[in-house]
Amino acid sequence: MGNTLVIAEVHNGALRKATLTAVTFAKKAAANEGGAIFGLVVGSGVGAVADDFRRFGLAKVFVADNAAYQHALATTYAAVVAEVVKENGVTLVTATATAFGKDLLPRVAAKLDAGMVSDISDVVDGSTFVRPLFAGNALARVKVSSTIKVVSVRGTAFDAAKPAGNAADVVAITSAPADAVGTTFVRFDETKSARPELTEAQTIVSFGRGLKGPENIPIVEKLCDALGAGLGATRAVVDAGWVPNDFQIGQTGKVVAPTLYFAVGLSGAIQHVAGMKDSKVIVAINKDAEAPIFKVSDYGLVGDLFKVVPELVEAIIKAKAS
Amino acid sequence: MKILVAVKRVPDTTVKLKLKPDGTGVVTDGVNFEVNPFDVIAVEEALRLKEKAGGGEVIVATIGSKDATQQLRHGLAMGADRGILVVNDDDNAIDADVVARTLKAVVAKEQPTLVLVGKQSPDGESNQVPQMLAEHLGWPQATFASKVVVAADKASAEVTREADGGLETLSVRLPAVISADLRLNEPRYASLPGIMKAKAKKIDEFTFESLGVAKAPKVTAVGFFAPPERKAGAVVASVEELVNKLKNEAKVLG
């Protein structure tokens, strides 16, 4: 096998932690097949990101630092990735399946005439990977026959890599292309939140239509505050416009696996469960004892959330203090 | 404005599918099929853009068995003008790249100003086709769209995207590929007159051979197996019991 390239995701001038799960995947793949693991940082003013990324047991970190790369446009970035792949004997290209990775990697695969496997959860060998599909109701072993393979990694299936070995050499890429293929960045409207980001949160409180309306969101927010939790939601309430899409947990939103997951006033639709069933401990609160969410929860409490959740907030504050 | 929408026939997304005992796939006997819900959103957006532009044509295209004609008819009943079926009897014999290359051949025939596609399907969940198609065409891409505004001169579109941590807005030159996300619109239901009219609308059939596309997948599923089942746990009687168990049994409350 050739070398493996891990594409770093840069967020607010820093290395996004999600990238480190792709590093762990790369190490697992390379342990089977050999070859070096390289990192690639693309952006503008990303020297510090490269300096951070080099600590994680990589052979080299390529850095393409150019004002034209300030925004992560898939068109521009795909050309940079393809060039680094071709010039460095890379046969496995990977990133974590975040919105960034999902947008970029298929374009990279098409450019390199490579087969791509999305959202993999395990490695069988150098060309065979495991991925969930059908809303998590099946796992498939998927084989890639092209020489170059592109893989996006399900962040919840791999631990974040820890700093290891000597810091890698940083190699500047100066001649990479910068054609945005008719694409211009206009603006980014950030979702402001003081709570932990869902894919990194240790505890998540998630709610559904049982909350009755967006005016009742403060009820679950108080539970978040008591637990230091991130706030998630079902597709139904995102669809109804109560919260931004960024809050959505499920097959078509974010896949999460926190230590503790509270499902409040949500029934447990197949597509929601697909995004949270790997959580370590699941607590369900629902007034309907027959709700499917109780089939996947470790602790179920049948009751009216409007009464139960405020009590729970008080009890948790007390329990944490004692 | 001419818009091509790619749609996919998928099993009912509300049904929990079971694995075949021999691990070759999932059981779809007795399961209803529908249009990928994200593709329905793409069809709706195409219809609205055509209405806004004051004219044009919306073409729905799919790759699938003859049964997929039903899904094309759904798009036609919503208001699309005509359909294209590329006949394929074995979904396992193609991958996202073959789909993207096939759609590229359809685009070459039809020369649309815009291609709209759902961001991902609920069965294969790959989320690859729109991006691959854009690259194969050398066009811009705007994935996970929650808002599309086409400029008056139809030379560009401003697309708001569901990114991690917020909304990103891009301007893309047309023609381009846009993938639809959940909040792009609220799709209309097919009306009875729409359903009646759809029966008379034209569906052209092609084969991979007639489009000059090699059915040569690079990615193949070699086996399916069941994920570990999560066992239902205990029902607790009170908040007090719940907190006690979280603290002392699960040890997840610090």
> Smallest Cα–Cα separation from A83: which of A187, A5, A186?
A5
| B246 in any annotated domain | no
pLDDT for the residue A194: 86
Q: Is B194 on the interface with A (CB under 8 A)?
A: no
Confidence of residue A181 (pLDDT cuts 50, 70, 90): very high
Query: What are the backbone angles phi and psi of residue B27, rounded to the nearest 5°?
Result: -75, 120
> Smallest Cα–Cα separation from B222: which of A156, A158, A124?
A124
CATH code assigned at B152: 3.40.50.620
- CA torsion sign for A239, A155, B170, B99 is negative
Q: Is B222 on the interface with A (CB under 8 A)?
A: yes
pLDDT for the residue B93: 87
- Is pLDDT above 90 for A191? no
Partner residues linked to A138 by β-bridges: A133
Rounded to an integer, the average pLDDT of A92-105 is 98
Cβ <8 Å between A137 and B245: no
| B239 in any annotated domain | no
How many angstroms away from the CA of B219 is the closest CA of chain A? Answer: 5
Show residues of chain B in contact with A241, CB under 8 Å.
183
ipTM given for this complex: 0.96
Show residues of chain B in contact with A188, CB under 8 Å.
163, 166-169
- Hey, what are A157's tokens? 């299936």
pLDDT for the residue A148: 98
| B101 in any annotated domain | yes
Average pLDDT of chain B to the nearest whole number: 95
- Hey, what are B13's tokens? 């997304």
- Is pLDDT above 90 for A320? no
Show residues of chain B in contact with A189, CB under 8 Å.
166-169
| B47 in any annotated domain | yes
A-B Cβ pairs (cutoff 8 Å, strict) = 266
CA distance B69 to B67: 5
| B30 in any annotated domain | yes
| Domain span holding position B191 | 2-229
Confidence of residue A254 (pLDDT cuts 50, 70, 90): very high
Minimum-distance CB partner of B243 among A118, A251, A319: A319
pLDDT for the residue A25: 97
Give tens-digit pLDDT for A118-131: 999 999 999 999 99
Rounded to an integer, the average pLDDT of A52-70 is 97
Confidence of residue A74 (pLDDT cuts 50, 70, 90): very high
Q: Is B32 on the interface with A (CB under 8 A)?
A: no
Q: Return the HEC string of B90-158.
A: CHHHCCHHHHHHHHHHHHHHHCCCEEEEECCCCCCCCCCHHHHHHHHHCCCEEEEEEEEEECCCCCEEE
Give tens-digit pLDDT for A15-55: 999 999 999 999 999 987 789 999 999 999 999 999 999 99
Rounded to an integer, the average pLDDT of A261-278 is 96
CB B35 within 8 A of CB B8: yes
pLDDT > 70 fraction of chain B, expressed in percent and rounded: 100
Judged by DSSP in three states, B148 sits in strand
Rounded to an integer, the average pLDDT of B186-199 is 96
Judged by DSSP in three states, A9 sits in coil
Cβ <8 Å between A137 and B225: no
CB A284 within 8 A of CB A305: no
pLDDT for the residue A280: 96
Number of domains chain B contains: 1
Confidence of residue A80 (pLDDT cuts 50, 70, 90): very high
Q: Is B184 on the interface with A (CB under 8 A)?
A: no
How many angstroms away from the CA of B72 is the closest CA of chain A? Answer: 22
Show residues of chain B in contact with A74, CB under 8 Å.
131, 141, 143
Rounded to an integer, the average pLDDT of A209-218 is 97
Cβ <8 Å between B135 and A182: no
Confidence of residue B232 (pLDDT cuts 50, 70, 90): confident
CA distance B151 to B1: 12
Residues 6+ away with beta carbon under 8 Å from A320? A226, B253, B254
- Is pLDDT above 80 for B254? no
- Is pLDDT above 80 for A1? no
Show residues of chain B in contact with A295, CB under 8 Å.
230, 232
Average pLDDT of chain A to the nearest whole number: 95
> Smallest Cα–Cα separation from B177: which of B84, B114, B124?
B114
Judged by DSSP in three states, A219 sits in helix
| B36 in any annotated domain | yes
Confidence of residue A193 (pLDDT cuts 50, 70, 90): confident
pLDDT for the residue B161: 97
pLDDT for the residue A175: 84
| B251 in any annotated domain | no
Tell me how far CA of residue A175 lies from CA of A44, A80, A178, B146, in angstroms: 15, 9, 9, 35
pTM for this entry = 0.95
| B238 in any annotated domain | no
